[in-house]
Amino acid sequence: MGLILCIETATEVCSVCLSRDGHAWAVKEITEPNRHASLLSPLIDEILKENGHTFNQLDAVAVSKGPGSYTGLRVGVSTTKGLCYALDKPLIAVPTLQALAALAQKQISSKEPYTLIPMIDARRMEVFTAAYNHLLEESTATHAHIIDESSFASQQLPSYYFGNGAAKCVATLTHPNLHYLANIQCSASGMAALAEAAFVQKRFEDVAYVEPYYLKDFVGTTPKNK
């Protein structure tokens, strides 16, 4: 089983985690938007030193690959690529929405089937989303979705939506099978089991060619003062 450094920078949360045997046993994170470039490397150094490990003891490095913030994803993936190249360690890419769903799964005690609908904010009433069953198996692929009254109304099972794009949807999503889970945000701890499974199955990325999964093309804006 591997000692894996997990890196999550897809949203406003800059988070790192050390995992072993699929369990997150050390986590450090800071929620400060637009500061991932300056926060990530110090967090990595701190979590290794505080837990008595060195870079060379890592068996792999995992990164949350998106979708999410363009800048955050670039910082996370480029840092991971640099570490894996310098240390000659395998690189694991974990879908951001699936890792978010893994965090929500831990909050639901039901033993009956249900659906998990993670949401990452994509401005206005649009979200990046997907759907997973109670076993974290994908039932609807990742896509960009503009929320309206009919969104997810066809869900037959109890369905839970969450993430930094979910709170703005509460007034619109009124179907009785839809339930909002508050206070669930992206964290590297949600990557632990998924990264371990990829490590065991040797599902590694090509360090030279792996890229973030942006889902949508970047659209720049012009500052109002220009």
Structural domain includes residue 214: no
pLDDT of residue 217: 59
8, 89: one domain: yes
Structural domain includes residue 171: yes
157, 192: one domain: no
62, 18: one domain: yes
12, 91: one domain: yes
Structural domain includes residue 217: no
Structural domain includes residue 195: yes
pLDDT single digits (tens) 102-135: 999 999 999 899 999 999 999 899 999 999 999 9
pLDDT of residue 63: 98
104, 78: one domain: no
* SS3 per-residue string spanning the chain: CCEEEEEECCCCEEEEEEEECCEEEEEEEEECCCCHHHHHHHHHHHHHHHCCCCHHHCCEEEEECCCCCHHHHHHHHHHHHHHHHHHCCCEEEECHHHHHHHHHHCCCCCCCCCEEEEEEECCCCEEEEEEEECCCCEEEEEEEEECCCCCCCCCCCCEEEECCCCHHHCCCCCCCCEEECCCCCCCHHHHHHHHHHHHHCCCCECCCCCCCCCCCCCCCCCCCCC
88, 146: one domain: no
89, 8: one domain: yes
Structural domain includes residue 213: no
7, 90: one domain: yes
Structural domain includes residue 41: yes
Q: Which residues of the chain have pLDDT under 70?
A: 217-226
CATH number of the domain within which 134 lies = 3.30.420
Parent domain of 86 = 3-95+186-200
Domain count, the chain: 2
Structural domain includes residue 49: yes
52, 134: one domain: no
86, 196: one domain: yes
75, 155: one domain: no
CATH number of the domain within which 73 lies = 3.30.420.40
